[in-house]
Amino acid sequence: MLFRSHRTVEIGKRRLEAVRFRPDFFEAFYNRGTIKLAMHRFEAALADFDRAVRLRPAFEAAWNNRGGVLLTLGRYDEAAANFDRLIGFAPRNGRAWYNRGTAHLLTRRYDKAAADFARALRLMPDHPDAFGCLASTALHLCDFARTAEFAPEVERHIRAGRDIIAALIVLGYTGDPALQRRAGENYLRIALPGALAPLPPRKPVRRERIRVAYLSGDFHAHATAFLISELFERHDRSRFELVGISYGMDDGGPQRARIARAFDQFHDVQGADDASVAAGLRTLEIDIAVDLKGHTQGARPGILALRPAPVQVAYLGYPGTMGGGGIDYAIADAVVAPFSDAPFFSEKIVHLPGCYQVNDSHRPRPAAGDRKSTRLNSSH
């Protein structure tokens, strides 16, 4: 129970009693599904939303949440079909248009995504994410007329601070590091629940080995995993104890297995909320927590924003500033984050010699005889 929220479990039990007494009580299934969603129990939440929409086919909120779970599970085509159904009977539901646009964006149907985000903005002009996603589609489509049109709007939205322009999108529109930092600050302020207060400071614990936790949603067949696996294996175990915290998918593949073996402890916390994970890190007495995601897809900055460890570090996944979130140091190098950029980082910049990006020396390379030269053919 190290990474489980006791309060949400208790509320979920109460909802279970409700559906036992009233198996046709569609709102109870919806409410229980919403609780399971907050607990990151996605498959169980999906089952409850399925039941809710079977009992009440025009239940807009349940269809929206059901599609959101499908997006989280990476079942993007199913999510798009879910929102097709919702839009069919609720064409003025702006969230449905936004969510379907997200499904199209994640399946690289950028033109369809752009149309859906534009419709969502017309229905919900104050939606915190829709404009940023619309701006993203223009970059993906290499629609430079649109990006030129959007550029001043992107800057205005960032400076106004009322909505989210994802940091990776900002990089496509401006090289201004001050705006990049401001975008990160906006995201953390809007996306993280302000009601969660940081944990009380923890006194240092004397032990033979420093306990380091690496947190990521990419401990599977993913670029981050391919880069960093050997780093975990090469840590000096006489000085460091390694703890892996995985809040992403388990694909059951060899990369996942290799990473899990490399840690002294490995915890799959996909089913736990941010507060529960932070509390678990505190119970484990982690000395240094290393976030490997930064401002990239699937990140959970709310965990380290609760300050579970005395020292918290950002590394590898996003070599820019988080703009806050309890991160003390950003590990980079002189190229990606020169010390002259320090005013634009909320963290202290730490340089690794040469290049900050670790790589895996065991990755297979083609034999010399397998290399084939290619020549471009041209006609005259």
- pLDDT tens per residue, range 139-169: 999 999 999 999 999 999 999 998 899 988 9
Task: Write down the domain spans for the chain.
Answer: 6-191, 210-351
Residue with tokens 């229905």: 123
Residue 156 tokens, joined: 């205005």
Pairwise CA distance, residues 262 & 3, whole Å: 21
- Banded pLDDT at 380 (limits 50, 70, 90): very low
Instruction: State residue 377 phi and psi, 5-degree precision.
Output: -90, 140
* Per-residue DSSP letter, 201: P
What does the pLDDT look like over 238-292, one tens digit per residue?
Answer: 999 999 999 999 999 999 999 999 999 999 998 888 999 999 999 999 999 999 9
| Topology classification of domain 6-191 | 1.25.40
Question: What number of other Cβ atoms are within 10 A of residue 23's Cβ?
Answer: 11
Type of residue found at 153 = E
Pairwise CA distance, residues 11 & 16, whole Å: 9
Q: Would you say how long the chain is, in residues?
A: 380
More confident residue, 308 or 375: 308
Pairwise CA distance, residues 303 & 291, whole Å: 9
* Per-residue DSSP letter, 368: G
Query: Is 99:67 a contact under the CB 8 Å cutoff?
Result: yes
Residue with tokens 């906006």: 186
CATH number of 210-351: 3.40.50.11380
